[in-house]
Structure 1
Amino acid sequence: MSVKRPNPAQWLWYAVGGKLPDRYREWVLHDATVPTWLIRHVLRRLVVIVPILAVLFLVLRVWLQFDLMIVLIGLGLGVYAGLYYSLIFCTHSVDSRVTRHGYPDQYASQVRKALKEAERERYNATWRNGDATS
């Protein structure tokens, strides 16, 4: 059985912090625990940041006619700061998102840890002759 994905409008709502209907509960857990969960988190943050940057660009460059280089540097620093703080709190943010969809606290982190440990055991069994030393 495959996991049911939200449509684009629902995904946008999810990206800005909204709660999806219960039928997407498994997808939310999948989204928070796949190996690319951090990339997905950054993309969700960019979906929030890009419209704000576009409005700021229009106001600063087009309406107020600031120098293009100053506007681009300012917007670049804004992206840097936004992603920096987003990455600092990424595990808490993703765990909160999963908890909002009905899973226990820190469940996504526990699942990611278990998946990583299973992968490590599989690797050690294959390539280390069962020796699980790190």
Structure 2
Amino acid sequence: MTASKPGAWQRIRYIFGGTLPPSMSDWVLVDLTGPGATRRYLMRFLLPVLPVLCLFLLTPGPLWIGLSMMALLYLPLVYFTVALVYVYRRHRLVSHGFDPELARAAERRRADADRIAYESRHQRG
């Protein structure tokens, strides 16, 4: 399969939950399970909200009031976004026709590497 990348409109549609054509399945798989997948997910959810929240800084009064209102909305958003990384990743994999267990592939690789390193350090006798 060729490794085609989505165009600007396709990428925007993808970020907002749309699916990409099967010709881009390699790109989708790397985006959802490859290195930096969690970082990209967090950036897509947490950064676009910041300009909207900055409108609270226009609230009359001391600066801490606007910052407090921003924090009251942003901190729970951060918490739930981090908590739902795995659920979101599984959903996106299924919507693109992949096995949802691929969401755990990186965790399995790390666990296998840890097990091998442990067994090499502590030879079983």
TM (norm. structure 1) is 0.69
Post-superposition CA distance 1:49-97 (Å, at most 9, x none): 235425xx0xx444x6454321122113322111110111110111101
CA distance in 2, matches of 1:100, 1:12: 16
Task: From the superposition, tell whether residues 76 and 7 of structure 1 become closer, same or farther in structure 2 (CA, over 3 Å).
Answer: farther
TM (norm. structure 2) is 0.73
- Conservation of the 8 A alpha-carbon contact between 1:20 and 1:101: yes
- Conservation of the 8 A alpha-carbon contact between 2:5 and 2:24: yes
% of aligned pairs identical? 23
Task: From the superposition, tell whether residues 90 and 21 of structure 1 become closer, same or farther in structure 2 (CA, over 3 Å).
Answer: same
Task: From the superposition, tell whether residues 106 and 22 of structure 1 become closer, same or farther in structure 2 (CA, over 3 Å).
Answer: same
What is the correspondence of 1:22-37 to structure 2 with a 5 Å cutoff? 22-37=22-37
Please name the residue that 1:80 is paired with. 75
Uncovered stretches (5+) of structure 2, i.e. residues with no partner: none
User: Which SS does the other structure have where 2:100 is aligned?
Assistant: coil
For 1:99, the aligned partner's letter is: V
- Conservation of the 8 A alpha-carbon contact between 1:41 and 1:90: yes
For 1:95, the aligned partner's letter is: R
Q: What is the CA distance between 1:18 and its match in structure 2?
A: 2.1
CA distance in 1, matches of 2:3, 2:71: 36
Uncovered stretches (5+) of structure 1, i.e. residues with no partner: none
Task: From the superposition, tell whether residues 105 and 66 of structure 1 become closer, same or farther in structure 2 (CA, over 3 Å).
Answer: same
Please name the residue that 1:93 is paired with. 88
Q: Report how many aligned residue pairs link the two structures.
A: 124
* Root-mean-square deviation (Å): 3.1
Please name the residue that 1:103 is paired with. 98
Alignment equivalent of 2:109, drawn from 112, 115, 125: 115
